[in-house]
Chain A
Amino acid sequence: MSKIRVVIAKPGLDGHDRGAKVIARALRDAGMEVIYTGLRQTPLQIVSAAIQEDADVIGLSILSGAHNHICPEVMRLLKEKGLNDVLVVVGGIIPDLDVARLAEVGIDGVFRPGTPMQEIIEYISSHARSRTETV
């Protein structure tokens, strides 16, 4: 098995990147290959990064309340590009009402403040598409 490849992205105008950076490091320490996009990425830039990096997982960090716009757009673009097996997870301040909405567009992994890193690592490990070494 090769390493799980994760793109961690900060979409929207918000710059609070503590969560994104901490999770990026935790996933890397857990043996995953992590690419951090930096701040203020549009959905298209994020999906392009995922294609370029051959990512298995996209992690979106959103604290500003813009998730209802950003997440469906990322999912739509992934479908459009044929990347149906890329796992998308979201971390941030997400109201209860919106957790259900995100599930409707295909995002089940929503992690709110106080989630242990280990829980996120395990979720990603068990839900990311399986890869076999192709040499």
Chain B
Amino acid sequence: MKTATPGVATGAERREKESLEPALEKGGERRSAFTTISGRPIDRLYTRESLAGWDPSRDLADPGQFPYTRGIHPSGYRGKLWTMRQFSGFGTPEETNLRYKHLLAAGGTGLSVAFDLPTLMGRDPDHELSLGEVGKCGVSIASLADMETLFQGISLADITTSMTINSPASMLFAMYLVVAEQQGADWRKISGTIQNDILKEFIAQKEYIYPPRPSMRLITDVFGFCADHVPKWNTISVSGYHIREAGATALQELAFTLRDGVEYVQFGVDAGMDVDQFVPRISFFFNAHSDFFEELAKYRAARKIWAHVMRDRFGAKDERSWKLRFHTQTAGVSLTAQQPYNNVVRTALQALSAVLGGTQSLHTNSLDEALALPTAEAATLALRTQQIIALESGVTNAVDPLGGSFFVEKLTLDMEEGALDYFETIDRMGGMVAAIENGFPQREIADSAYRFQQAVERKEKLIVGVNEFVEAEDRGVPTLYIDEAAAGRQIDRLRVLRRDRDNGRVRRALDDLKRAAEGTTNTMIPLIEATRAYATVGEMCDALREVWGEYEERPVI
């Protein structure tokens, strides 16, 4: 590196004197400070001098090479495009089954199941807490019978399915496996993902049932079961998405998500597994927010950090353990109810950052999602947005086309450094479970959320249609309206199921499940038997509630 010699102007100093100062005299800048949406200051110009200490062979390397900053595939999207996976589900299994067939016919290449809140919280549709929630935010799945309907006419051997389910992940996964088996699909060949990420529930989305430690047991049981029986299944999708939606900055999203990943690996190792046996099936899930370059840097830094952590901290030998694979969803929280068509543009830009960041799969939000669940038309337009990026924009022709940009590389380095600082703090607290028990990430996120809202109120951050270019007239868009009929149908169906099934077999299976929870038998085994007996999600979750109790958080404002 060159060092500045007294009396000799550096490039930066010369530039300031010769071109910048005269330009600033003619007209000042629009703001006194420029920051990302996360509040990170951004310099006026990035040059070679911004990258002091940066070594391209160490920090960048070729695509497909450790530490994978430029992507995990040597040929990027020239070989295979990302999976266009649109998250979807509402009402009854029949209604959602039709939407899936529509999305697949429109060129979607994978399914992604959105469950309703009772399912996510392990409650049956007729439970008192389910009142008003059945089929509202997603599809209601109460038992194997509903799962059979959901995938009626869709071959599980030929598609991959992602299921956004956390506390009851094992139960819904068991149902998926039994449906696959009924269809004649081989468990060793099918693939897909369960989110199964409880730590971010405690941190951000708050869909937890059991206390942290037994919740971690369910997850390591899935790791072990899949290593033996469903080797291509992604056992967990360690998620930053919800952390970001809850108000975290890009850096906090990155740091907390990867540190969650470290926690899962540590628990797996502590449960007696070899890292290379289960880590290759761990995947990640990030948000694509509105600050284009900050997001891009986040994805690149994530790959680099994970590669180092897996190789250096855990001693993984298998390259697949080093490679961070991730799904991305555009930022729901950035969508506005005002001037909803603007959301199409926001989503397109966010999706582009995810693609340039090398995502393996992508969900683009629909323009009407600040108002309701999407209509079929809005969901199709969201999918078309991805297809236009993939087929028309040309950004898929070269691998990591922004690699080597002074700005992008500097942001990537800073993201890495900031995340490692958070790692140190959390390690000092005794790990992520302990940090959560202390309320640390929850507080950090709540503070960031409030700071951002204040910045919007003060117009330091501008949102078109919300605090700038506001229109008095609300033009509105057609929205999907989910009535209460789904709840009635699901409750009736449950009544028939409970009457017609072999209730003795259900009881025995649930007793076995409780015994497994008290002991060390892998919980997936009794859960699959309970599923085959048509035990409901609520019954299976209640059996474990009896053994492990329920978690209650102390709210942090």
Contact of A77 with B by CB under 8 A: no
- Asked if B453 and A13 make an inter-chain contact with CB atoms under 8 angstroms apart, the answer reads no
Q: Which of B183-191, B334-342, B510-518 contacts A (4 or more CB under 8 A)?
A: B334-342
Contact of A79 with B by CB under 8 A: no
Chain A residues with CB under 8 A of B338: 114
Q: Which of B124-132, B139-147, B259-267 contacts A (4 or more CB under 8 A)?
A: B124-132
- Say whether, besides A21-B446, A114-B336, A114-B463, A68 and B557 are in contact (CB < 8 Å): no
Per-residue interface assignment for chain B, residues 111 to 146, with 1 indicating a CB less than 8 Å from any chain A CB and 0 otherwise: 000000110110100000111110011000000000
Which residues of B from 241 to 290 have beta carbons under 8 Å from A? 245-247
Give Cα distance in the complex from A32 to B501, angstroms: 55
- Asked if A21 and B137 make an inter-chain contact with CB atoms under 8 angstroms apart, the answer reads no
- Asked if A65 and B137 make an inter-chain contact with CB atoms under 8 angstroms apart, the answer reads yes
- Asked if B205 and A114 make an inter-chain contact with CB atoms under 8 angstroms apart, the answer reads no
Contact of A128 with B by CB under 8 A: no
Chain A residues with CB under 8 A of B556: 21
- Asked if A95 and B370 make an inter-chain contact with CB atoms under 8 angstroms apart, the answer reads no
Contact of A133 with B by CB under 8 A: no
Give Cα distance in the complex from A20 to B10, angstroms: 51
Closest A residue to B369 by beta carbon equals A93
- Asked if B453 and A22 make an inter-chain contact with CB atoms under 8 angstroms apart, the answer reads yes
Contact of A26 with B by CB under 8 A: yes
- Say whether, besides A95-B371, A114-B337, A114-B466, A13 and B482 are in contact (CB < 8 Å): no
Chain B residues with CB under 8 A of A69: 131-132
Chain B residues with CB under 8 A of A37: 555
- Asked if A18 and B449 make an inter-chain contact with CB atoms under 8 angstroms apart, the answer reads yes
- Say whether, besides A12-B132, A13-B123, A64-B117, A18 and B479 are in contact (CB < 8 Å): no
Q: Point out which of A13, A17, A34, A40 has the most chain B C-beta atoms below 10 A from its C-beta.
A: A13
Give Cα distance in the complex from A63 to B400, angstroms: 38
- Asked if B131 and A113 make an inter-chain contact with CB atoms under 8 angstroms apart, the answer reads no
Chain B residues with CB under 8 A of A66: 117, 131-133, 136
Which residues of A from 1 to 47 have beta carbons under 8 Å from B? 12-18, 21-22, 24-26, 28, 34, 36-40, 42
- Asked if A25 and B557 make an inter-chain contact with CB atoms under 8 angstroms apart, the answer reads yes
Chain B residues with CB under 8 A of A42: 129
Which residues of A from 64 to 87 have beta carbons under 8 Å from B? 64-70
Contact of B457 with A by CB under 8 A: yes
Contact of B372 with A by CB under 8 A: yes
- Asked if A24 and B557 make an inter-chain contact with CB atoms under 8 angstroms apart, the answer reads yes
Contact of B54 with A by CB under 8 A: no
Q: Interface size on A (CB < 8 Å)?
A: 37
Contact of A96 with B by CB under 8 A: yes
Contact of A103 with B by CB under 8 A: no
Closest B residue to A43 by beta carbon equals B131
- Say whether, besides A22-B450, A38-B553, A96-B476, A13 and B118 are in contact (CB < 8 Å): yes
Give Cα distance in the complex from A100 to B137, angstroms: 21
Closest B residue to A117 by beta carbon equals B457
- Asked if A114 and B129 make an inter-chain contact with CB atoms under 8 angstroms apart, the answer reads no
Contact of B207 with A by CB under 8 A: yes
Chain A residues with CB under 8 A of B129: 13, 40, 42
- Say whether, besides A13-B129, A21-B449, A70-B132, A93 and B372 are in contact (CB < 8 Å): yes
Per-residue interface assignment for chain B, residues 460 to 494, with 1 indicating a CB less than 8 Å from any chain A CB and 0 otherwise: 00010111000000001001011010000000000
Q: Interface size on B (CB < 8 Å)?
A: 48
Per-residue interface assignment for chain B, residues 188 to 230, with 1 indicating a CB less than 8 Å from any chain A CB and 0 otherwise: 0000000000000100011110000000000000000000000
Per-residue interface assignment for chain B, residues 435 to 455, with 1 indicating a CB less than 8 Å from any chain A CB and 0 otherwise: 000000000001001100100
* From A36, A112, A117, contact of B555 by CB (8 A): A36
- Asked if A26 and B206 make an inter-chain contact with CB atoms under 8 angstroms apart, the answer reads no
* From B117, B246, B370, B465, contact of A18 by CB (8 A): B246
Give Cα distance in the complex from A36 to B449, angstroms: 16
Q: Point out which of A21, A25, A117 has the most chain B C-beta atoms below 10 A from its C-beta.
A: A21
- Asked if B557 and A21 make an inter-chain contact with CB atoms under 8 angstroms apart, the answer reads yes
Give Cα distance in the complex from A21 to B117, angstroms: 21
Per-residue interface assignment for chain A, residues 112 to 125, with 1 indicating a CB less than 8 Å from any chain B CB and 0 otherwise: 11101110000000
- Asked if A13 and B121 make an inter-chain contact with CB atoms under 8 angstroms apart, the answer reads yes
Chain A residues with CB under 8 A of B117: 12-14, 64, 66
Chain A residues with CB under 8 A of B370: 93, 112-114
Contact of A97 with B by CB under 8 A: yes
- Say whether, besides A17-B206, A40-B129, A97 and B555 are in contact (CB < 8 Å): no
- Say whether, besides A12-B117, A21-B557, A116-B457, A97 and B481 are in contact (CB < 8 Å): yes
Chain B residues with CB under 8 A of A96: 371, 476, 479
- Asked if A116 and B467 make an inter-chain contact with CB atoms under 8 angstroms apart, the answer reads yes
Chain A residues with CB under 8 A of B123: 13
Give Cα distance in the complex from A39 to B479, angstroms: 28
- Asked if A22 and B372 make an inter-chain contact with CB atoms under 8 angstroms apart, the answer reads no
Chain B residues with CB under 8 A of A117: 453, 457
Question: Min CB distance, B136 to chain A, in Å?
Answer: 4
Give Cα distance in the complex from A93 to B482, angstroms: 13
- Asked if A64 and B133 make an inter-chain contact with CB atoms under 8 angstroms apart, the answer reads yes
Closest A residue to B446 by beta carbon equals A21
- New A-B pairs, 20, CB < 8 Å, besides A14-B137, A21-B449, A39-B206: A12-B117, A13-B120, A13-B129, A16-B205, A21-B555, A22-B247, A25-B557, A66-B133, A70-B132, A93-B371, A96-B371, A112-B370, A113-B335, A113-B336, A113-B370, A114-B336, A116-B457, A116-B466, A116-B467, A117-B453
Can you list 12 contacts pairing A with B, beta carbon distance less than 8 Å?
A: A13-B130, A17-B246, A37-B555, A38-B553, A38-B555, A39-B553, A64-B137, A66-B117, A66-B132, A95-B481, A96-B371, A113-B335
Residues of B whose CB lies within 8 Å of any CB of A are 117-118, 120-121, 123, 129-133, 136-137, 201, 205-208, 245-247, 333, 335-338, 370-372, 446, 449-450, 453, 456-457, 463, 465-467, 476, 479, 481-482, 484, 553-557
Residues of A whose CB lies within 8 Å of any CB of B are 12-18, 21-22, 24-26, 28, 34, 36-40, 42, 64-70, 93, 95-97, 112-114, 116-118
Top-8 shortest CB links A-B: A15-B206, A69-B132, A66-B132, A65-B136, A38-B555, A13-B117, A114-B466, A113-B370
